[in-house]
Every structure is written in C-alpha cells, then in structure tokens.
Structure 1
Amino acid sequence: MSVSRAHSRPITALAWTSSGTTCPSYYTLIGTTEDGTAANFTRGFGLKSGYYLCYSKDLAGGMVVSDVQVISDKDTIPHGYCYIPEFMEPKASVWKKKRVCVRIVPVDSVTNAVLDIRVTAKSKMMLQQYTCLGDILGYVLWCMKGPFSTPTPKAKPRRISLDLRQLSLESSETQLPLRPSNQPQVPPKLSCRRKTLDKNELNETVYDSSNIYGITAMDGVPFALHPKYETQTNEKATVPMLDDIRIKSIHDIENEYHYTFAVEELAAKRSRPIFSQP
C-alpha cells in the first residue's frame, strides 16, 4: 500500500451506514477489510442488521477531520470532538458500547489531517504508516495522518480581444496599429509670448458640454465677490508706515534680555539655620 501523503486529499467526514442504498453519494463505503473479509459490523448483541463505515473527501464544506478516536460508553467524549453521524435504515441501530468520534476543524486552520481510514480483522495484520485507533466488534480501525493538499481551482480561460476600436467614444473610424510610419501626431508647441487667449475658445476647450465628461460642477454658477470684500476693493491700498520700525543688532538684543541671575545666586548662598540637639 503506497500512499502519497503530499498529494492526498484529507478526509472531511466519517459516518455509519446500513448499506450502499443508505450511503450518501458523496461518501465512500468500506465494504471489505484489508485481508479480504466483509467489513460488516454484525457481531454485537441485539443488532438486527449489520452496518458499514464510510468516509467522505468532499471539501465543499471547508472542513477536514484532524483526528479520530474510538472510545467506550464509559469514557467522556473529548473536548472538541463529536460522534460520527449515522445513515441507517429505520429499524437498524449502531452498537453503543464503543463509539467513533472525530474532531472536525476548518481546512485553513491545520496542516495535518486524516488522509485515509482502513478496517482489518482483529489480530490479523498490521498496517504500515497507519495508526491503530481501536477495535469494534472484532474489527480494528486504522487511520493515516499527514500533510495534505487541496485541489487548486483552475481559472476558466477567457478570450481577450485585442481589438479596442469598440471602446472608442469619439469616432468609429478604423485606426491602424502604431508603427514608426504611423505614429500619433504631436501637438504643436505654443509660444510663451502668447499672453491672451480668446475667451470663447478657452471655454470650448476646457468646458466642452458636448458630452458628460465636459460638464463640471461649476457650470451655470455666476462668479461674484462677497459684499464684505467689494468695499475694500474700491478703497486704495495704504502702504504701511515703516519709519517706526527699528532694526536691532545682536548686541542690542543681548543687552535688552540680559539677566544676571543675582537673585538665584543669593538664595543659593543663603545657609540654612542649624538646630542644636539638646
């Protein structure tokens, strides 16, 4: 038995089922053991019919089985584990003396999970690279754990047309590909001496209202100054009087802000009174 751990898909669910008819379509039924005998659990007291173990590797739910344990009815189920579901016929039942519980976690939260589950007859053979989980009704359950890989969804190929003529908003004329003999025309440079522009020409070039891209939020809003500033524009600007400003030198500034710290020196030299002890 050669199992590639690096490329194996993890088990996402375990369950009990009565037969192939009650087993869900996305589950795989374990019908025979590794030594070739039937894997039908039918040796328990009070069991009217047998049942099989089945597993699923459907990653649609985004969950994987990270661990499997076989416990008795006297043991407390471990924290984070749950009993496996049962897809049984109405009158069929599962033996309760020993139960199978699993730990299901999100696929992105772990790097190792249960990759495979096998069933053998009790004390018949040992499976290499598998962990023994325990025995139930004369059968031994084995599991293999290891790193797993999920299938990467492949992007559906799309045909991208290189013809961009349909995206043009201005004209539908056929445009040739850019070549050295068919380069776009460079707009002529304007002279810097031109100081005045025609007002109508400026409005047509900047605010072209022939399409929605030439319309701005300021269209139709008249330009006017606030009345508060209209009176100030009529008055003549007064030049501030600079005669009273005196430019001080560095020497003047040092003399003006010179401080001798005499008060602080006097306070530091003042001695504290000494009290004599009786």
Structure 2
Amino acid sequence: MAAAAEGAPLTGIGLALGLAAVPAGWSAITATAEGAAAGLAKGFGHKGTGYLCVRTGGAQVAPVVTDVQVLSDRSPHPSGYTRAPEFPEPRAAVSRKKRIYVRLQPREAAATAVFDVQLSAKSSALPLYMKIGEIGGFALWCKKGPLSEPLSLQQLSLRAPASPQGAPAAPTSPKRAPGALHDAGSIYGLSAMDGVPFALHPRFESRLGPSSTALLTDLTVKSLADIEREYHYAFVVERTAAARLPPSVC
C-alpha cells in the first residue's frame, strides 16, 4: 500500500509498537509492496509487532522530510538528522539493532522532499524508488521529488488583481469600433504589417512624382465589344474536323 497521498510530501516518519500506538495524524504501513504483512517483528527489540508509520498532515507549515537513513545502533548520529520517533517512547534499556534517522527542513528552504516510503522483500526492486536500507527483515524504500510552490487563490483566479484604494485604475484597451478590421488594442488584432512604415523604392519615386499622370497616357481602354472583335475566332477548322467534311471556301 502507498504510505503517502500523491503530491503530499511527508512531514514525519516513525515507528509504532503496535497499531493501537499509532498517534492521530499518522498512518501505519501494514503491507509490503508485494502485499505481504509488514510487521517489524525481527530486530525491533520487543516481543510484539512494530509498524513503520508516516505523517503527511500540515505540509504547508510543518517541516518536510528531505532524506531518510537506516543505520545500526553502533553508528554515530548523523549530523543534521533526527532519530525517528517511536510510539510510545522507548525505554532506555530496550535495544534496537537498526535505527531510522530523518532530515527535516522548512518547506520554503527545501528543493526536494520524500513523498512516499514503502517496505518490500529484500530481493525485490521498486521502480522510481531509492533503497534506503533494511529493517525488520524488509527493505526500506523512499520516493523523492521536487517541491512545487503552493499557488495562492489570487494566482488561481482569472480576474485581474484589484488596485489599492485611491490608486488610479489601470488603462483599459480601446473598444473596437463598428466595422473595424481589427482591434489595435489587442495583440490578437495586430497584423504582420502593423507598425511597419510605408516607403517606395527610389527606383519608382521619379515615375510617381507630380507628373505621374503621364503614365496613364499610354494606356488604351477597350470595351467588351472591342475585345470580342479583336480576338474573334470562328473555330471553322475545329468544326470542319468534327463534322469530318472537306473544307469549303466561302
């Protein structure tokens, strides 16, 4: 079973001496990744069954778990880590062959966090998970990921932020005039030629000067009848060939 909700970083990892000892706000991992019972009976230092438990609540204000280590009881306490809590508090005379240490950091100072931990058989491999060590006869795995900045309600809203009281309102885009081809106040109404100055090539400036009307004197305007008379074609050859008759001279 998954130990953490998708998208919520862990804010605590601990050990409970039984299901009844799991405190409020914590969840016990009762099954391995293969579906077997996940009781930590071996090497847990007591006759009952212990369980690995995690916490995800209060992730916005509570420190998040950024790393996990499993060390023997003879290993020195790693710097920057705290020992995972046990529920209820362990007695000093009880020995633990393996200990779990976690590194907690404020959410705003952490780039990555632990989002899930699972137990599996020692010979198994869990894709996308990193093996931390072995405890209670199982392999301990964790899944890390980057932390995303929580969005505020104002960022999620499509409305523009309200201006402070007394501050001048932001200028609005000019309204679209009736019959206008496009709205110049909107980027969606701009064409590729907007803002490009119009200029003629120097080659044509002399021909289109004050005496540009002289260019029109060489033009001949023809009517439709003139065009039909000039380009009239009777199709005599085509009609003769179609009728299969010898051509006649008229």
TM-score computed with the length of structure 2 as normaliser: 0.54
Structure 1: 5+ residue stretches without partners: 158-278
Residues 78 and 44 of structure 1, relative CA distance in 2, 3 Å threshold: closer
Paired residue secondary structure (1:108)? helix
Look up the match of 2:9: 10
State the match for 1:50 in structure 2: 49
Counting aligned pairs with the same residue, the percent is 38
Tell me which amino acid in the other structure corresponds to 2:27.
T
Equivalent residue number for residue 20 of structure 1: 19
User: Which amino acid is 2:76 matched to?
Assistant: T
What is the SS of the residue equivalent to 2:80?
coil
Q: Which residue is equivalent to 1:143?
A: 142
* Partner residue, 1:108: 108
Q: How does 1:146-225 map to 2 (within 5 A)?
A: 146-149=145-148, 152=151, 154=153
What's the secondary structure of 1:21's corresponding residue? helix
**Structure 1 residues 87 and 151 mapped into 2: Cα distance closer, same or farther (>3 Å)?**
farther
* Residues 219-251 of structure 1, C-alpha deviations (whole Å, 9 max, x = no match): xxxxxxxxxxxxxxxxxxxxxxxxxxxxxxxxx
Q: Tell me, yes or no, if the aligned pair for 1:9 and 1:149 is still in contact at 8 Å.
A: no
For 2:52 and 2:44, how far apart are their aligned partners in 1?
19
1:88-121 Cα deviation digits (max 9, x unpaired) = 3888x97511100000010000121111100012
- How many Å apart are 1:81 and its aligned residue? 0.3
User: Cα offset for 1:62?
Assistant: 2.5
**Alpha-carbon deviation of 1:21?**
2.2
Partner of 1:32: 31
Code of the residue aligned with 1:117 in structure 2: it is V
In 2, Cα distance between equivalents of 1:33 and 1:94: 26
Structure 1 window deviating more from structure 2 (40-49 vs 100-109): it is: 40-49
Aligned length: 152
Contact 1:8 1:149 in 2 (8 A): no
RMSD: 3.0
1:25 deviation in Å?
2.1
TM-score (structure 1 length as normaliser): 0.49
Corresponding residue SS for 2:9: coil
Q: Greater Rg, structure 1 or structure 2?
A: 1
Residue ranges of structure 2 left out of the alignment (5+ in a row): 158-250
